[in-house]
Structure 1
Amino acid sequence: MDARIEQVVTSGKVTLDDTEYDVESNTYIVGDDDEVIVIDPSHDAEAILKEVGDREVMAVILTDGNEHRLSVVLEVAAAGEDDEENWAPIGLHRADRLLWRDYFGRLAKEEDDEDDAKALRSLEPDIWLEDGGVFEIAGAQLEIVHTPGHTPGSVCVISEQLSALFSGDTLHRNRPGSVGGVYEDLRKQLNSIGALLTPLPKDLRVLPGQGDETTVGDEDARWESWGALAREAED
């Protein structure tokens, strides 16, 4: 197996419920010297594509449909190719389709050219991610696990060969994941995290969408204590 993991940290602003947050995000590039899959491009497509270099982007996986990912996903999928037929396929869970449609619908309203606006409104992901779906790159398998809560269509990605769990914004180090401390459905998110972590090896690396990496064992040990956060959110 020749696959390896590279990380790019980018920063930008994310607006949720009319409030703007400064966010620093992790993008992961998985592959070898020839081909890669990009997980969670965010904020700065140029920085991500600089790390990709001359390698072919075989797919782009989004662990959720929030705007800091959608704002750069087309540019990363294109990777300098003018012909859309040569763009990498974009994967998103169907439960985040509304987030996708809302984002590109807003862009369409800002377009003066009606043909461009129509194209934006008609955009759809190329692949609807499903629980148990698998991508392959450079001898490594990337398995999709649906983990709703942060968003309805949040997913995580597990690679046994790379001994890594890409947890997106479902799970961060020391806490359930969030953008700006905002939780959409924390109880559902905690249930997803618990079901995700329980069967996994305790020494498996967790590579989150924000912040430093951790391990399954460390976060599993903290999981039960997070119930208080859910009770506070409901009060």
Structure 2
Amino acid sequence: MTSGPVTLDDEKFTVEVNSWVVGDDDAVIVIDPANDAEAVLKVVDGREVMAVVCTNGRDNVLSTVLEVASDEERGDAEILLHRGDRSLWRDFFRQLALETEDEELKSLEPDQYLEDGGTFEIAGIQLEVLHTPGFTPGSVSLYSEGDAVLFTGHTLLRGKPGSIGDEYPELHTQLNSISAQFGQIPGDTRVLPAQGEETTVGEEADRWESWYSLSNRSDEDA
């Protein structure tokens, strides 16, 4: 877990992020490295990073992806992001290009775009990509049916949908994603979110219908 700034509508918030390292003794994928590449690489502990998966394109996640993916001996790992967050990616790296005077960053793109229903495998663990927009347009979750594990990013946390401070960027869309994508997943599936403690699909399913009142309040405030 690391902590650092994330930007929403030009306002800075401090957000804690759980970065997940999934694999075996030889190779891993890293899900949502954020804020502190050194801390993430300490957990990787010299294993080969096969891919860096961003469940969203917020700046706190993108700030570490190049360093975590970099490997001079083996070659850089692929960086994966959903196309829905392409504009967030471009905004971040164009700004970084200005700050570092590195013109190449202006044209940098993810190595691969994640697609809803796509799958990839690491250490015998198969992960399915679920497009779960709301926190960002390109937010995704990763589901391993065989291992009964769901990495929800900031789409679903323990006891609440993911937010930035008290702000929900597109809460109604986010709640629809939760219902549509997670509603048929077995209740005993572990939920490993990008923030806070783990939970299960069943524990959260008992709560998420009540969260629509948050969406209604947001509409009234607007």
| TM-score bracket for this pair, using the shorter chain length | over 0.9
Of 44, 55, 67, which residue of structure 2 is paired with 1:52? 44
The residue aligned with 2:7 is 15
Q: How does 1:19-98 map to 2 (within 5 A)?
A: 19-78=11-70, 81-82=71-72, 86-98=75-87
Aligned partner of residue 92 in structure 2, secondary structure: helix
**8 Å CA contact 2:7, 2:58 repeated in 1:** no
After superposition, give the CA deviation of every residue in 1:63-89 in whole Å (9 maximum; x if it has no partner): 0000010000110011xx237x81000
Unaligned runs of 5+ in 1: 1-8
Q: Match of 1:162?
A: 147
Deviation at 1:207, TM superposition (A): 0.5
**Does 2:182 align with 1:182?**
no
5+ unaligned residues in a row in structure 2: which ranges? none
- Give the one of 83, 88, 91 matched to 1:99: 88
Matches within 5 A, 1:122-201: 122-201=107-186
Q: Secondary structure at the match of 1:120?
A: helix
AA at the equivalent of 2:56? D
Amino acid at match of 1:219: E
Q: Report SS of the residue matched to 2:164.
A: coil
Deviation at 1:31? 0.2
Deviation at 1:111, TM superposition (A): 2.9
Per-residue CA shift, 1:107-156, capped at 9, x if unaligned? 112233xxx22x10010000100001111011110110001111100000
- List structure 1 segments (4+ residues) > 6 angstroms apart after TM superposition: none
1:166-197 deviations in Å (ceiling 9; x for gaps): 00001111111112121111111100000122
Percent of residue pairs bearing the same amino acid type: 58
8 A Cα contact 2:133 2:177, kept in partner: yes
SS in structure 2 at match of 1:196: helix
Cα separation, 1, equivalents of 2:7 and 2:122: 33
AA partner of residue 22 (structure 2): V
TM-score by length of 1: 0.91
CA deviation string 1:3-34 (max 9, x = no partner)? xxxxxx11112222222212111000000000
